[in-house]
């Protein structure tokens, strides 16, 4: 009997996706959602429609994995198949068997030099690898193809060995000899086993206690014509009844925490499902139409009920900073996410030694600096102007300008130019941040 059922999104190039999918489909634990891509620029657009359908994602390599990871848009576990061991041995055998090309006349990418040399030594081949381009995270197909092409054109190599399908296609297009490293079955099976263990761990986590801290304002629905202490009491009772119905919908229990403040104890899984993985606020029918009355809401996830309650308090305070009706969640990995249901939703750290060190150099808090780093990740680069920053952080432009000035004074930002969005508008300074 199958213990878990994981909806596994699999994204890969046209030649690697069938290899990975064939292995994954042998396991009853998976319902596979295959997605093929032809260009790195389309990866995020391809996975966004499946964001709520996949429990985890498996990528065919380091580049697509890094693109999605760095975007911060996908909050479920992400994995990729490394092109090591058998994958590389097979490619080198092919190069030598078909064209008798020695190692020294091949150019490589993705791998670290000592990694390739160690693999060769294990096969009894003690030969240096002179041409290799290692990179961290993502890289463009054009940059990789250009590296291999320059060496080949200069006569230093006879062929290239690449792990990136789009670079492989670029080199084939210009007529350059190139060998593609495809995922080996053993590497795919190793990652698949890790995914299954992760699924089992997450299933246990879903049963953990989560806490929701809510502040309500019953007065927003008051009619000035019938305003009295009796009416106030009736409104508060009506709001409490709505909260009780909502607590039942999330399979939790409601506790009062003072005037207008309530705490709901429930399970991590129930809240995660109700908020679509902490991305949206619950639908109206589940919320018992409480939207008008809720002033702020914080969700806390922790290893114990006490820790979850502390986390909920942190999330609640961050929600208060974002303004009326904001929902935030504090996760057990030390990050804050939100506001839920907003297009500008970001995920940022509110602790860590690095942030505390940066906070000591500026007049900004570690939480604000954590938000800034998250904004830059979502923005896609480290250049931004005050109005853009204000929109992401949901603050006033003058507050954003103050933050940028603080960073500039501390040497963590510099003004690099101006932009004028309107013909008669006031020029806006563009800053480059060094966080």
Euclidean distance between the first and final Cα of the chain, in Å? 50
Report in angstroms the alpha-carbon separations of 212 from 271, 371, 376: 9, 22, 29
Question: Residue 267 falls within a domain, yes or no?
Answer: yes
d(CA 170, CA 144): 9
Cβ atoms of 411 and 402 closer than 8 Å: no
| Same-domain status, 224 and 256 | yes
| Same-domain status, 213 and 309 | yes
Question: Residue 348 falls within a domain, yes or no?
Answer: no
Q: Report helix, strand and coil shares of the chain as percent, to nearest 5.
A: 45, 20, 30
| Same-domain status, 297 and 217 | yes
- Domain with 360 in it: 353-433
Q: What are phi and psi of 259, to 5 degrees?
A: -55, 120
Tokens found for residue 158:
């006879």
Report in angstroms the alpha-carbon separations of 322 from 60, 296, 355, 388, 403: 38, 9, 21, 16, 16
Cβ atoms of 119 and 132 closer than 8 Å: no
| Same-domain status, 325 and 360 | no
d(CA 185, CA 191): 10
Pairing state between β 261-267 and 209-216: antiparallel
Q: What is the pLDDT of residues 370-389, one digit of tens each?
A: 888 888 877 777 888 888 88
Question: Residue 32 falls within a domain, yes or no?
Answer: yes
Question: Residue 243 falls within a domain, yes or no?
Answer: yes
Go through the chain and tell me how many residues it has.
435
Cβ atoms of 17 and 64 closer than 8 Å: no
Question: Residue 1 falls within a domain, yes or no?
Answer: no
| Same-domain status, 151 and 27 | no
Per-residue pLDDT at 352 = 67
| Same-domain status, 218 and 309 | yes
Q: Is 262 exposed, middle or buried (0-12, 13-18, 19+ CB in 10 A)?
A: buried
Q: What is the pLDDT of residues 126-160, one digit of tens each?
A: 888 899 999 887 788 999 999 999 999 999 999 99
Per-residue pLDDT at 350 = 64
| Same-domain status, 279 and 405 | no
Tokens found for residue 75:
């909050």
Q: What percent of the chain has pLDDT over 70?
A: 94
What are the residue ranges of helices labelled H in 72-184? 86-99, 113-122, 141-153, 165-173
| Same-domain status, 49 and 144 | no
CATH number at residue 250: 3.30.70.270
d(CA 22, CA 238): 55
For residue 430, pLDDT beyond 80: yes
Strands ordered across the beta sheet of 6-12:
30-36, 6-12, 56-59, 78-80
| Same-domain status, 219 and 95 | no
| Same-domain status, 236 and 281 | yes
Q: What percent of the chain has pLDDT over 90?
A: 32
Question: Residue 196 falls within a domain, yes or no?
Answer: yes
Q: Is 286 exposed, middle or buried (0-12, 13-18, 19+ CB in 10 A)?
A: middle
| Same-domain status, 274 and 322 | yes
Find, among 95, 64, 103, the residue nearest to 81 by Cα. Answer: 64
Question: Residue 167 falls within a domain, yes or no?
Answer: yes
| Same-domain status, 270 and 385 | no
Q: Global pTM?
A: 0.59
Q: What is the pLDDT of residues 157-208, one digit of tens each?
A: 999 999 999 999 999 999 999 999 998 888 899 999 999 998 888 777 777 8
The widest CA-to-CA distance across the chain, in whole angstroms, is 93
Among the listed ranges 199-213, 242-256, 305-319, 337-351, which one has the minimum average pLDDT value?
337-351
For residue 222, pLDDT beyond 80: no
């Amino acid at each position: 009997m199958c213990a878990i059922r994981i909806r596994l999104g699999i994204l890969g190039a046209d030649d690697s996706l069938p290899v990975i999918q064939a292995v994954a489909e042998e396991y009853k634990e998976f319902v596979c959602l295959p997605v093929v891509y032809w260009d790195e620029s389309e990866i995020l657009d391809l996975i966004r429609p499946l964001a709520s359908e996949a429990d985890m994602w498996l990528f065919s390599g380091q580049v697509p994995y890094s693109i999605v990871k760095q975007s911060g848009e996908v909050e479920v576990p992400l994995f990729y198949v490394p092109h090591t061991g058998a994958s590389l041995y097979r490619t080198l055998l092919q190069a030598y068997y078909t064209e008798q090309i020695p190692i020294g006349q091949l150019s490589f990418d993705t791998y670290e030099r000592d990694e390739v040399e160690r693999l060769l030594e294990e096969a009894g081949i003690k030969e240096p690898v002179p041409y290799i381009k290692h990179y961290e995270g993502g890289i463009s197909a054009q940059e990789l193809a250009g590296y291999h092409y320059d060496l080949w054109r200069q006569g230093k190599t006879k062929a290239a060995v690449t792990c990136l399908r789009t670079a492989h296609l670029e080199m084939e297009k210009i007529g350059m000899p190139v060998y593609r490293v495809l995922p080996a079955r053993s590497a795919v099976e190793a990652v698949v086993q890790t995914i299954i263990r992760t699924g089992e761990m997450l299933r246990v986590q879903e049963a953990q206690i989560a806490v929701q801290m809510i502040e309500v304002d019953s007065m927003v629905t008051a009619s000035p014509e019938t305003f009295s202490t009796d009416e106030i009491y009736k409104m508060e009772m009506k709001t409490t009844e709505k909260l009780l119905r909502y607590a039942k919908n999330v399979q939790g229990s409601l506790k009062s925490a003072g005037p207008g403040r309530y705490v709901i104890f429930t399970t991590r899984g129930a809240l995660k499902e109700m908020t679509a993985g902490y991305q949206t606020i619950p639908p109206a029918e589940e919320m018992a139409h409480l939207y008008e009355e809720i002033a702020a809401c914080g969700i806390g996830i922790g290893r114990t009920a006490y820790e979850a309650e502390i986390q909920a308090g942190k999330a609640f305070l961050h929600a208060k900073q974002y303004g009326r009706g904001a929902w935030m969640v504090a996760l057990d990995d030390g990050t804050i996410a939100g506001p839920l249901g907003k297009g500008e939703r970001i995920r940022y750290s509110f602790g860590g030694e690095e942030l505390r060190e940066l906070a000591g150099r500026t007049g900004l808090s570690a939480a604000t600096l954590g938000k800034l780093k998250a904004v830059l990740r979502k923005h896609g680069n480290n250049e931004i102007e005050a109005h853009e920053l204000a929109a992401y952080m949901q603050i006033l432009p003058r507050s954003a300008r103050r933050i940028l000035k603080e960073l500039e004074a501390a040497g963590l930002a510099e003004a690099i130019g101006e932009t004028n969005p309107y013909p008669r508008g006031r020029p806006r300074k563009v800053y480059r941040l060094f966080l």
